[in-house]
Chains A and B, each alone.
Chain A
Amino acid sequence: MKFSRRSTILGGAALAAGSAAPARAQLTIDMTKPSFEPVPIAIVDFSGDRVGADIAGVIRNDLQNSGLFRSISPSSFIQRDVDANAPPRFADWRGVGAAGLVVGQIQQSGGNIKVDFRLWDVVVGQQATGLSFNSQPSNWRRLAHIIADAIYKRVTGEEGYFDTRVAYVSETGPLASRVKRIAIMDQDGANNRYITDGRTIALTPRFSPTLQEIVYMAYAEDRSPPRVYLQSVDSGRRELLGNFPGMSFAPRFSPDGTKVVMSISAEGQSDIYEMDVRGRALRRLTNTPAIDTSPCYSNDGSQIVFNSDRGGSQQLYVMSAGGGGERRISFGEGRYATPVWSPRGDFIAFTKITGGSFGIGVMRTDGGGERMLANGFLVEGPTWAPNGRVLMFFRQQPNSGGRAGSVTLNQIDITGRFERPVPTPTDASDPAWSPLIPQ
């Protein structure tokens, strides 16, 4: 799965300073502003190969789903003969209200395809960016996501998150005997596949930083306690991560992938431990009679945030990655759970239970500046997109008449805008968003 990013294609000069920008829409967006209009963008089917229409479709879908773009319907396009290598008729594109125009072409080269794309700033009448890639034809979806990421980055100034995957728990069947298996899919729902067989309950999948492995908790076929497993995504080979007498659960990789932090139970007490993935050395990080669980490393690996009921109710605490220096950071009303440190280091997202309802929120890493983003009967388990601007979580509807309420994955911007359901083939919970796929 190698991509050679050949070059930035010509004409990619930055916008000339002081160039006139008279139109209403612009090809930039400031995501920190309290409100903005989505950027209207026209994406033309890529020329040169039948897969060009599919590539354009994936890019449209990615950008539209971000909430930051409005994909203009191809049926309204005026210029139908746009040449991927020549400037478009900007007036025609202004005429359909576009601020940006994406064109591309595909050429066969050996057994590979060469894909060139350009993003035109229609407002200014210049190329905004352009890139060229070489890859195997079967990688066309990933190429489309990589191009969508490049467009997102050029317009927002933030890294994209479209070339990523999501691991989650697929749920089927009646609740009393619910089948819960780990699945992995592309961020947009494509290429869904199952990586556990469903014979026992498997929960809480999390990616290694290279995406080559996941850790999760699974029950055994006998009645021995559920434990944490490490599994290769491609080969399916799995191994027990430490054989402890009690339950081990809530695993998560360190940012460098060399360690896994998890909870282990003994005599009703749950503490946090860190295991070296290669040598399997185990180190105890907390020791209280309380429930200490849901540990997550800071983006730089130096600290761990977790939840504990040591103070009487479930709250968030931060400690050093090696243990020690534990301090409480959540002080609001209600119970706090499932803290996850943003990959960019500025926020911690969490689940909050207040009275009869659940919420997904973010706070600064010192616990200040709490903001709630989503609420409901049951919302739980936020996970960060690699750019730290978007969260995914799961939303369960109440059960009724002995039947399970639906459980869906949802995505939301950290400003609280653009909540949308993420399509999955079955009911789905416990999403884990991967880092960007290594290219």
Chain B
Amino acid sequence: MSMIKAFAAIAAMIVMAACSSNEQQAAAPATTTVTPGSVADFRQNVGDRVFFDTDMSNIREDGRQTLNRQAEWLKKYTNYPITIEGHCDERGTREYNLALGERRANAARQYLIAQGIPAARVKTISYGKERPDPVGSDEAAWARNRRAVTELQ
């Protein structure tokens, strides 16, 4: 495995991640290291999502650590408005899950506000169980689907 191949693979992953999630920020860095303050930097080095237990919306300990890093980063790079997407696994009904996704997004939002992020900077949107990531019908997939994702605009 040559260094060049590994290098190319990493670069491709970075570009794909940027493209798939936010077209405005698609001009991802084509260098080996992500640009500090970029969307790719946020995703890769901070972590854009936190996970929840079944039917719960409280922020877990692992989520707190991620959100603490997010708050720190967002205070440093203040140019991004934020939308937090709330999501659920498929093991609930559609309408209830829309509400549950909203509750999860709001829990993450309140946590960031408590860390000093201005409330006006953070919006929420719920996708309920309509946008699973990853796609799967087992416990591992569902655990990843129960998430709040911080999207930079």
A interface residues, Cβ below 8 angstroms from B: 174-176, 178, 180, 201, 203-204, 217, 223-226, 246-247, 249-250, 263, 265, 267-270, 291, 293-294, 307, 309, 313-314, 335, 337-338, 351, 353, 377-378, 380-381, 396, 398-400, 402-405, 429-430
Contacts and interface: CB of A to CB of B under 8 A. Distances in A.
Q: Identify whether the interface residues of A are mostly helix, strand, loop, or mixed.
A: strand
Nearest to A270: B99
A402 B98 CA distance: 23
B94 to A, nearest CB: 6
B106 interface: yes
A246 B153 CA distance: 19
B137 A223 contact: no
B135 A203 contact: no
B147 to A, nearest CB: 14
B132 A204 contact: no
B48 interface: no
B137 A405 contact: yes
Interface string B71-87: 00000000000010000
Nearest to A267: B106
Contact of A293 (B83, B90, B99, B141): B99
A337 B93 contact: yes
B130 A351 contact: no
12 contacts: A203-B130, A226-B98, A249-B98, A268-B102, A268-B110, A269-B103, A314-B55, A377-B137, A378-B91, A381-B94, A399-B136, A430-B94
B137 to A, nearest CB: 4
A381 B137 contact: no
Residue in B96, B106, B133, B151 whose Cβ sees the most chain A Cβ within 10 Å:
B96
A396 B91 CA distance: 11
B100 interface: yes
A247 B96 CA distance: 13
Contact of A201 (B103, B107, B130, B141): B130
Contacts of A307: 96
Contact of B131 (A176, A225, A250): A176
A58 B147 CA distance: 48
Contacts of A291: 96, 99-100, 103
Contact of A378 (B90, B126, B135, B151): B90
B95 A204 contact: yes
Given A223-B83, A270-B102, A294 B93 contact: yes
Interface residues of B, number: 34
Contacts of A309: 55, 96
A294 B135 contact: no
Contacts of B102: 246-247, 265, 268, 270
Contact of A268 (B98, B103, B134, B135): B103
B93 to A, nearest CB: 4
B150 interface: no
A217 B123 CA distance: 19
B135 A403 contact: yes
Contact of A176 (B105, B132, B137): B132
B137 A249 contact: no
Contacts of B131: 175-176, 178
A429 B151 CA distance: 29
B118 interface: no
A293 B106 CA distance: 17
A178 B130 contact: yes
B125 interface: yes
A370 B109 CA distance: 40
Contacts of A400: 136-137
A201 to B, nearest CB: 6
Residue in A246, A268, A381, A399 whose Cβ sees the most chain B Cβ within 10 Å:
A268
B92 interface: yes
A402 B93 contact: no
Contact of B133 (A176, A313, A430): A176
B57 interface: yes
Contact of A225 (B95, B125, B130, B151): B125
B90 to A, nearest CB: 7
Interface in B101-126: 102-103, 105-107, 110, 123-126
Contact of A203 (B83, B94, B136, B141): B94
Given A203-B130, A294-B93, A351-B93, A399 B135 contact: yes
A268 B106 contact: yes
B91 A353 contact: yes
